[in-house]
Structure 1
Amino acid sequence: MQAEAIMTAPVIGIEPTASISDAAGLMLSKNIGGLPVIRSDGTLLGIVSEGDFLRRAELGTRRKRSRWLEFLVSPRRAAEEYVQANGRRIEEVMTADVITVSPDASLSEIVELMTRNHVKRIPVVDGGKVVGIVTRSDLLRALLSVLPGSAPAAMDDERIRQNIIAELATQKWAGKDMISVTVDKGVVELSGAIFDERERQAAIVAAENVAGVKAVKDNLFCAEPLSVILVS
């Protein structure tokens, strides 16, 4: 799946000369947390989000430091913070260094960019123009569209068992032949040894995600590493 398949388009944006109040009002009325800042020719200039309005003089939330820390702040940094707290136009408070993707960017690429850069939205740019935006909500909708339905598909028990075993075999946490799987009319029973309680939930999830599974019974035994050493 690519960006163009899930992005929100057309984009709700704002011009760089718009006021802070215009942006705040637009975000509240549209129930969105950020806006691309777009020139009249459609090119991207920056992005403004709720986070850019946290440190405002009007709210009394300007950054405050102890006297000795304030002494260490460079004049450049102090000037930037002053503009952020007192600027009146979007171009004065927006984030100019914007991460973008092309319409054919994969979802894994988008998620990696969001995670690595701690951002919640990424504009989609094609030919220098903003054509859409991908937000966390868009990713959630994409997830919902591919999740299986509530009614499990009918499948032979042995086929279900083999599929679960095959999935466990690909996971480093599962161990080799440590987890036994039996299936009766779509109900899976997991037994055997694990060495960490987190492996229990992982094994249950692995079984639940196999087509045809109706329920999972957990009979796994958590063996502490020390007990294994003593027995051996």
Structure 2
Amino acid sequence: MRAKDVMTASVVTVGTDTSVREIAGILAERRISAVPVVSTDGKVAGIVSEGDLIRRAETQTERRPSWWLTLLSDPADKALDYIKAHGGTAKDVMTRKIISVGEDATLEEIADTLERNHIKRVLVMTDGKLVGIVSRADLLRGLASRKPASEQVAKDDEALRKNVEEALKQTGATRTFVTVIASDGVVHLWGAVDTQQEKDAIRVAAENTAGVKNVDNGLSVLPPMVRAAMWAD
């Protein structure tokens, strides 16, 4: 799945001169957490989120740092805080740093973008134009509707076993004493691993392999003393 498959295409936008009061009303009425700001030439100028409206003079929530922090703070930062708290239009309070992805961005790329930038939604742009927006909720809907690709389903037990073995490599678990057996779509896991987390990761990898109907997890977790003895020099 890609951005174009999960994005919200009918994006609500505001202009640079839209009042803060009107923006707050839009966010509340539409039950959305942010709105892109578009200039008169159709270009995205920024985005206003709930976070941009938290510290406001009207609600008496503006920042009031202690006197000693005021002495140490940068005058430019103080000026920006004042504008955020007292500015009356979108251009005053909006976040100007525009983070976006293309329509063909994968869900993994979108998730990485959200995580790396500590944001809750990302704009989808094509040729510099806003075509949609993807939020965390959109990613969850994509996850819920995603189905395993049928072409990846193994046609026989040996092929299925090999597919599971390949999937286990991605877990990072020590598989020295792990045996995988496949029979009529059921995967049997035997042997021992160092930790419960490795046991669970191997089970999850097997369950996620296309064609697996069930997983019989017979793996055991080695006691600490046994592990120490086995891996001692």
Q: TM-score, normalised by structure 1?
A: 0.85
Structure 2 unaligned spans of 5+? none
* Contact 1:188–1:216 (Cα < 8 Å) also in 2: yes
CA shift in 2, pair 1:30/1:63, >3 Å: same
**Which residue of structure 1 aligns with residue 21 of structure 2?**
21
CA offsets 1:201-221 (integer angstroms, 9 cap, x no match) = 101101111233333333222
- How far off is 1:29 after superposition? 1.9
Matched-pair identity in %: 42
Specify the alignment match of 1:174 in structure 2.
173
Distance 1:188 1:127, change over 3 A: closer
Which residue of the partner structure matches residue 126 of structure 2?
126
Q: Is the 8 A contact 1:124 1:134 kept in 2?
A: yes
- 1:103 and 1:172 map into 2 onto residues whose CA distance is 30
SS, match of residue 58 in structure 1 = coil
Deviations 1:88-127 (A, max 9, x none): 2111111011112333434333322221111122222233
Amino acid at match of 1:205: V
3-state secondary structure, aligned to 1:174: coil
1:69–1:137 Cα change, 3 Å: same
2:179–2:191: 8 Å Cα contact kept in structure 1?
yes
Distance 2:52 2:166 in 1: 48
Q: Are 2:175 and 2:193, in contact at CA under 8 Å, matched by a contact in 1?
A: no
Alpha-carbon separation, structure 2, partners of 1:123 and 1:43: 12
**Residue aligning to 1:36:** 36
Letter in 2 for 1:217: D
Distance 1:67 1:146, change over 3 A: same
CA distance in 2, matches of 1:125, 1:60: 36
Q: Distance in 1 between matches of 2:62 and 2:35?
A: 22
Query: What do residues 26-71 of structure 1 show as CA deviations (whole Å, max 9, x unaligned)?
Result: 1222221111001233210100011111112222222233321222
* 8 Å Cα contact 1:178-1:192 kept in structure 2: yes
Q: Secondary structure at the match of 1:166?
A: helix
Taking a change above 3 Å as real, the CA distance of residues 172 and 132 of structure 1, as seen in their structure-2 partners, is closer
Shift of 1:154: 9.8
Unmatched runs of 5 consecutive residues or more in structure 1? none
Aligned pairs (5 A) from 1:48-87: 48-87=48-87
2:220 paired residue number: 221
Give me the TM-score of the superposition, normalised by structure 2.
0.84
In the other structure, the counterpart of 2:190 is 191
Question: How many angstroms apart in 1 are the aligned matches of 2:6 and 2:134?
Answer: 7
What is the Cα deviation at residue 171 of structure 1? 2.9
Tell me the amino acid that sits aligned with residue 102 of structure 1.
G
Give every structure 1 segment of 4 or more consecutive aligned residues whose post-TM-superposition deviation is greater than 4 Å: 153-159
CA contact (8 A) 1:57 1:85 kept: yes
Tell which deviates more after alignment, 210-219 or 10-19.
210-219
Q: Which residue of 1 aligns with 2:12?
A: 12
**CA, structure 1 residues 29+109, in 2 after alignment: closer, same or farther (shift >3 Å)?**
same
- 1:77 and 1:4, CA in 2 relative to 1: closer, same or farther beyond 3 A? same
User: For residue 210 of structure 1, what is the aligned residue in structure 2?
Assistant: 209
Q: CA RMSD in A?
A: 2.6
C-alpha distance 184-126 of structure 1, shift in aligned 2 (>3 A): closer
Distance 1:40 1:46 in 2: 13
Tell which deviates more after alignment, 121-130 or 32-41.
121-130
Q: Is the 1:155–1:211 Cα contact (8 Å) retained in structure 2? A: no
Structure 1 window deviating more from structure 2 (6-15 vs 125-134): it is 125-134
Per the TM alignment, residue 17 of structure 1 is displaced from its structure 2 partner at its CA by: 0.8
- Alignment correspondent of 1:164: 164
Instruction: Report how many aligned residue pairs link the two structures.
Output: 228
